Chain A
């Protein structure tokens, strides 16, 4: 396993954690697992045939979860031959209030693609509120991205109405709303050209994202003509989808991301 780090802005939050199957080169700009130096331009491991994966964590934009929480999933993907980039971004209380966190995510994707063209074709994965930031990043790009959303919180008007995240939507949008903006303006509306595929995975017993929100979002995306696939994972909770120790991740999400057949109900 190799590790790297790419900074894409001045805030300590504006970084990308890189994981790869091979040892990084020892040239200037690389780092060891225990190292802390910034590694401009470094990639974790050489390019190989497996499609790279970009992960964006959730945590209701306030960092109830951080990029480190996705390290086990990143390692599991590396174990299957993938290079993985985990995007960190500013929380709403530290410079990341809308639209800054989405700008961060967009800048991170751009930085990755500039460093190595292979990232332009990566599978993009967003968990929970990370799904919102990811969709906001690809909307309008005509990128044709392969996007996987795990228990996504994307429609902010509906999420606010349902009280998802205990008021986190209002905190995230506070300045935007005060300036006369709306929840709808902060809800990404990707076009079919933006997405080569959109796979949405839901956890049957999700305690953080109500089914009502998921169903609403699926309906809206279906109406927009997005290339949508819906996967429901039985006996799973919110964080199970990104925890390789859990069957939901091991038997559904990981095979999905590595391109193998899924046993899930579709």
Chain B
């Protein structure tokens, strides 16, 4: 788990845990989430239009976001999906696969390295805090262990600042180098393939990322977010004014 200077000074009891939302707030938030539309992820332009609006609706209403995060912390089936990885952590705040709406916060860690990758799912990301250096790649080779790292060509590079919303198809190869603690609200489609391809730019190492259903119990335990780490992120989100 990555740590950063000053972690020991963090409030171990973030306010969101001390003063949870009221039943009225929870009911109101759940009603709003239940009224969200079905996203047609097979038409990425349509999905982009509607998920852009959903992401802004949720991300710009900090009271609602706070309620959803607090609810997720207390909902075991969501809490089990909070994960820690090398580059980023995630807090899942809503999961309605029938509507194509898995919604989570992506929390970028301090350590970053560049890996060209695609995803198991298409997604929309609303950058709430920080920024991405975002590069799209093309290649002319199969995406497997034989991939040659020199044959991934960047052809679109731009800064994605806070306030921007992007939608990416699951097939698109890209890298996102983030400022430390960049926070995004992500809306992702149901899985479109079993595994996502990854290749590290500095070494050419290839690996894959699988869904939870394909991971071992040991792996699931390894990536599960601890309460300590969760409290860290809740404090940071509060400090950024996002909750």
Contact = CB atoms under 8 A, between A and B. Distances in A.
B38 interface: yes
A172 B50 CA distance: 17
Interface in B176-200: none
Interface in B30-86: 31-32, 34-38, 45-46, 49-50, 53-54, 57
Given A62-B36, A64-B37, A171-B34, A93 B50 contact: no
Interface in A56-100: 59-60, 62-64, 66, 68-69, 91-94
B35 A168 contact: yes
B31 A94 contact: no
A64 B39 CA distance: 7
B46 A94 contact: no
B37 A63 contact: yes
A162 interface: no
A94 B34 contact: no
B216 to A, nearest CB: 36
Contacts of B50: 63, 66
Nearest to B57: A94
A172 B38 CA distance: 15
Contact of B46 (A68, A171, A172, A174): A68
A234 interface: no
A167 interface: yes
Contact of A93 (B36, B38, B46, B49): B36
Contacts, number: 38
A66 B36 contact: no
A94 B37 contact: no
A133 B82 CA distance: 41
A171 B36 CA distance: 9
A59 B31 CA distance: 18
Interface in A19-72: 59-60, 62-64, 66, 68-69
Main secondary structure, interface of B, reads helix
Contacts of A92: 35
Nearest to A13: B53
Nearest to A167: B34
A46 B93 CA distance: 50
Contacts of A174: 31, 35
Pick from A13, A59, A62 the residue with the most CB of B within 10 Å.
Answer: A62
Contacts of B45: 68
A12 B37 CA distance: 17
Contacts of A94: 53, 57
Nearest to B45: A68
A130 to B, nearest CB: 14
Interface centre among B35, B38, B53 (most CB of A within 10 A): B35
Contacts of B34: 167, 171
Nearest to A12: B53
B61 to A, nearest CB: 10
Interface in A170-212: 171-172, 174
Contacts of B46: 66, 68-69
A132 B54 CA distance: 24
A130 B35 CA distance: 17
A59 B34 CA distance: 15
B49 A62 contact: no
A59 B46 CA distance: 13
Nearest to A59: B37
A160 B36 CA distance: 17
A193 B50 CA distance: 37
A63 B35 CA distance: 10
A94 B33 CA distance: 11
A93 B37 CA distance: 9
Contacts of A60: 37
Nearest to B28: A174
A5 to B, nearest CB: 15
Residue of A91, A92, A167 with highest tally of chain B CB at under 10 A: A91
Contacts of B54: 93
B38 A171 contact: no
Interface in A74-131: 91-94
What 9 pairs between A and B have smallest CB-CB spacing? A171-B35, A62-B37, A93-B35, A64-B37, A63-B37, A64-B38, A92-B35, A94-B57, A62-B35
Interface of B: 31-32, 34-38, 45-46, 49-50, 53-54, 57
15 contacts: A13-B53, A60-B37, A62-B37, A63-B50, A64-B37, A66-B49, A68-B45, A69-B46, A91-B53, A93-B36, A94-B53, A171-B34, A171-B35, A172-B35, A174-B31
Given A92-B35, A171-B34, 4 more contacts: A60-B37, A62-B37, A64-B37, A94-B53
